[in-house]
Amino acid sequence: MTLNSHSEPIPTQDPAGDPYQTRANTIVRASDHATPLELSNITIRYGGGKGGAEPVNVVEGFNLTLHAGEMHCVAGRSGSGKTSILTVGAGLTLPTSGRVLWEGQSLETMGDDEIADRRRALIGYVDQGGALIDGMSALENVLLPAVPDGEVEQRRDMAKDLLDLVGLGRRMRHRPAQLSGGERQRVAIARALILGTRVLVVDEPTASLDRTSANRIISILKDTTSDGIAVLVASHDHELVRLSDSLTELN
Amino acid sequence: MNAVQRFIRSRVLLLTAAILIIAMGLSVLIQGQSQAALNRTVDENSRGLYDILVRAKADTSSGKGALIQPEIAGGQGGISFDQLEKIRTMGGTAVAAPISLVSRVTQNLQAPRLDAMDYLGYNAGLVGSATVGAPAGTEAAKWPAAESVLDAQPKNYRLTATAVSSDGVSERTLFKTSAEGSLGKGRFVEEQTLGGKSIRIAGPAGETGIKFPAPAGGSEHNLFNLSVALPLAPEVTESVVAVDPAAERALLGSAGDFLAPLEKAPPADARDAGAIGRHFESLFTNGIGMDELEEGPDFLGVKLKYWAPLMTQYQQAKRNGELTADSQAIPLIVREGTSLDLKYSVKIEEIDASGKVVKDVGTVTRSLDKDYLPFVSRSPFALSWPGSTDHSQLLGNPGNFGQGLYNPAQWSTDFAAAPKYQDGGTQSNGAVDKTATPGDWVTVNRLPESSISGTPVDQTQRKPVDERSYREGLETGKEPAKPLPMVYGTFNADKVKEAAGDINRLPLGGYDPTPLTLNKDADGKDAGNTELKPSLSATGLVSQSAGAITDYYGLAAARGYENNADVIDAVRVRATAAGSWKQAQPEVEKLAAEIRSLGLEATVVAGSAREEANIFVPGYSKDDAGKEAPLGTVQQSWVRQDAADAVSGSLTGTNLTLLFLTLCGATLLTGASTVSYIRQRRKEAGVLRAMGWTQRKIRSWVLEEFAIGAGLIAVAGLALSLLSWNLATVLVSVSVLVIYLAAAYFTTHQLRHQDVVDQEPQHDDKLIAVDSPLTFANRQLTTNRFNSVSLAVAVGVFGAAVGALIAVLIDIPRAAGASALSGAAATSVALPSIVLAVAGVAVGLVLTLVTGRFELQAKRQYLGILEAMGWNPDMLGQVRFFENALVGTVALPLGVVGALGLGLVLAPYAALWAALAGFLAVLCWIPIATKVVK
Q: Which residue has the higher pLDDT, B360 or A213?
A: B360
Residue type, B325: A
Please answer yes or no on whether A116 and B870 come within 8 Å at the CB atom. Answer: yes
| Cβ proximity of B639 and B70 under 8 Å | yes
- Name the minimum distance, in Å, from the CA of B884 to any CA of chain A: 17
Tally Cβ neighbours within 10 Å of residue B574. 23
The arithmetic mean of pLDDT across residues B787-802, rounded, is: 82
Least confident window among B251-265, B336-350, B527-541, B842-856: B842-856
Q: How confident is the model at residue A1 (pLDDT cuts 50, 70, 90)?
A: very low
Range ranked top by mean pLDDT from B109-123, B249-263, B482-496: B249-263
Whose CA is closest to A134, among B263, B858, B166, B14?
B858
Chain A CA closest to residue B875:
A148
- Chain A residues within an 8 Å CB radius of B770: 136, 140, 143-144, 147, 152
Q: How far apart are CA B55 and CA B78, in angstroms?
A: 8
Q: Given an 8 Å threshold on Cβ–Cβ distance, is B761 in contact with A132? A: no
The pLDDT tens digits of the residues spanning A200-216 come to 999 988 887 788 888 88
Q: Which residues of A touch B865 (CB under 8 A)?
A: 127, 131-133, 144
Rounded to whole angstroms, how far apart are CA atoms B478 and B480?
Answer: 6
Q: What is the predicted pLDDT for the residue at B144?
A: 87
Which residues of A fall below an 8 Å CB-CB distance to B? 90, 92, 112-113, 116-117, 119-121, 123, 125, 127, 131-137, 139-140, 143-145, 147-148, 150, 152-153, 171, 173-175, 177-178, 191-192, 195
DSSP per position, B679-730 = HHHHHHHHHHHHTT--HHHHHHHHHHHHHHHHHHHHHHHHHHHHHH-SHHHH
The beta strands (E) that lie in B354-483 are given as 357-367, 372-373, 376-377, 382-384, 410-412, 421-426, 432-436, 441-444, 465-468
More confident of the two residues B95 and A105: B95
The answer to whether the Cβ–Cβ distance between A178 and B757 falls below 8 Å is yes
Q: B865 in contact with A at a CB cutoff of 8 Å?
A: yes
Residues of A in contact with B757 (CB under 8 A): 177-178
Cα angle vertex B857, ends B855, B859, to 5°?
65
> Quick check: A127 and B764 CB within 8 A?
no
DSSP state of B233: P
Residue B881 confidence (pLDDT) above 80: yes
Q: Which residue has the higher pLDDT, B90 or A59?
A: B90
Closest C-alpha among B65, B68, B39 to residue B572 = B68
- The predicted model gives B347-357 an average pLDDT of 95
Confidence at residue A23, expressed as pLDDT on a 0 to 100 scale = 31
Beta carbons of A178 and B866 less than 8 Å apart:
no
pLDDT, position B859? 80
Closest residue to A173, CB basis, from B759, B764, B782: B764
What integer pLDDT is reported at residue B797 of this predicted model?
81
Q: At what angle do helices A112-122 and B873-906 cross, to 10 degrees?
A: 120
Residues 783-822 of B with CB under 8 A from A: 783-784
Residue of A nearest to B763 (CA): A173
Find, in chain B, the residue whose alpha carbon is nearest to that of A191: B869
Q: Which residues, at least 6 apart from B579, have a Cβ–Cβ distance to it below 8 Å?
A: none
Backbone dihedral angles phi then psi of residue B30, each to the nearest 5 degrees: -70, -40
**B399 pLDDT tier (thresholds 50, 70, 90):** very low
- Contact call for residues B385 and B117 (beta carbons, < 8 A): yes
Q: Of B391 and B438, which is predicted with more confidence? A: B438
Mean pLDDT of all residues in A85-103: 90
Subunit contact B764:A150, Cβ cutoff 8 A: no
Q: Concatenated DSSP letters for B548-606?
A: EEE-HHHHHHHHT--TTSS-B-EEEEEES--SSHHHHHHHHHHHHHHHHTTTEEEEE-T
pLDDT of B60 over the 80 cut: no
Nearest residue to B472 (alpha-carbon basis) of B522, B422, B380, B539: B539
Cβ(B580)–Cβ(B43) below 8 Å = yes
pLDDT at B837: 75
Lowest mean pLDDT among B60-69, B311-320, B716-725: B60-69
Which pLDDT score is estimated for A15? 37
Closest residue to A134, CB basis, from B783, B869, B873: B783
State the Cα–Cα distance between residues B905 and B916, nearest whole angstrom. Answer: 16
Residues of B in contact with A184 (CB under 8 A): none
Q: According to the model, what pLDDT value does residue A11 have?
A: 33
Please state which of the ranges B113-117, B251-255, B505-509, B806-810 shows the lowest mean pLDDT: B806-810
- pLDDT at residue B851 greater than cutoff 80: no
pLDDT of residue B641: 87
C-alpha B260/C-alpha A244 separation (Å) is: 117
Tens digit of each residue's pLDDT (9 = 90 or more) over B247-256? 999 999 999 9
**If you average pLDDT over each of B107-116, B158-167, B185-194, B900-909, which comes out highest?**
B158-167
Asked whether B447 and B215 are in contact (CB, 8 A), the reply is: yes
Looking only at the bridges linking them, the beta strands covering B236-243 and B548-550 are parallel
Tell me the pairing of strands B376-377 and B372-373. Answer: antiparallel
Quick check: helix, strand or coil at residue B414? coil
Cis link prior to B464 (omega < 30° from 0)? no
Q: Mutate one of A83, A136, A154, A189 to test the B interface: name it (highest B CB count within 10 A).
A: A136
Given CB atoms, is B927 within the 8 Å cutoff of chain A? no
Q: Return the residue in A140, A185, A189 with the most chain B beta carbons within 10 A, the one to mutate for interface testing.
A: A140
pLDDT above 70: residue B377: no
Dihedral angle computed from the Cα positions of residues B178, B181, B183 and B188, in that order, rounded to the nearest 10 degrees:
-120
Helices B873-906, B856-868: axis angle to 10 degrees equals: 150
Q: What is the pLDDT of residue B546?
A: 93
Q: What is the pLDDT of residue B229?
A: 93
If you ran DSSP here, which 8-state letter would residue B819 be given? Answer: B
- Residue in chain B closest to A192 (alpha carbons) equals B869
CA of A30, closest CA in chain B: separation in Å? Answer: 30
**Per this entry, what is the length of chain B?**
934
Mean pLDDT across B357-384:
86
Q: First vs last Cα of chain A: how many Å apart?
A: 36
Element (H, E) at B104: strand B93-107
- Residue B64 clears pLDDT 80, i.e. is over it: no
CA dihedral for B283, B286, B289, B294, sign (positive or negative): positive
Who contacts B642 (Cβ-Cβ below 8 Å, separation ≥6)? B64, B65, B607, B608
Q: Which of B76-85, B86-95, B117-126, B838-847 has the lowest mean pLDDT?
A: B838-847
**Amino acid letter for position B666:** A
**Which chain B residue lies closest to A148 (C-alpha atoms)?**
B871
What pLDDT, in 10s, does the model give residues B320-344?
A: 888 888 889 999 999 998 999 999 9
Specify the pLDDT at position B128: 55
Q: Tell if the CB–CB gap between A90 and B874 is shorter than 8 Å.
A: no
Nearest to B887 by CA among B934, B927, B841: B927
Give the gap in angstroms from C-alpha B863 to the nearest C-alpha of chain A.
9
Contact B763, B863 (CB under 8 A): no
CB within 8 Å: B761 and A147:
no
Residue A74, burial from CB neighbour count under 10 angstroms (0-12, 13-18, 19+): buried
Q: How many residues does chain A have?
A: 251
Return the residue of B nearest to A138 by Cα: B762
Residue pLDDT, tens place only, A8-62 = 332 333 333 333 333 333 333 333 445 889 999 999 888 766 556 678 888 888 9
- Cβ pair A94, A88 in contact under 8 A: yes
Cross-chain Cβ contact A116/B867 below 8 Å: yes
Q: How much is the mean pLDDT over chain B?
A: 84
Contact across the interface for A177 and B758, Cβ inside 8 Å: yes
Q: Cβ of B427 under 8 Å from any chain A Cβ?
A: no
> Do residues B411 and B102 touch, judged by C-beta distance below 8 A?
no
Q: How do residues B71-89 score in pLDDT, each as one tens digit? A: 998 888 999 999 999 999 9
The pLDDT mean for chain A works out to 80
Q: Select the residue from A107, A140, A143, A147 to test the B interface by mutation, using most B Cβ atoms within 10 A.
A: A147
Q: Write the pLDDT tens digit of every residue in B144-175.
A: 889 999 999 999 999 999 999 999 988 999 99
B1 touches chain A (CB under 8 A): no
- 3-state secondary structure string across B32-81: HHHHHHHHHHHHHHHCCCCCEEEEEHHHCCCCCCCEECCCCCCCCCCECH
Task: Report d(CA A20, CA B168) in Å as an integer.
Answer: 100
Least confident of A85-94, B138-147, B413-422: B138-147
Q: Which of A3-17, A224-238, B437-451, B650-664 has the lowest mean pLDDT?
A: A3-17
Most confident of A116-130, B342-356, B704-718, B769-783: B342-356
Dist. CA A161–CA B70, nearest whole Å:
94
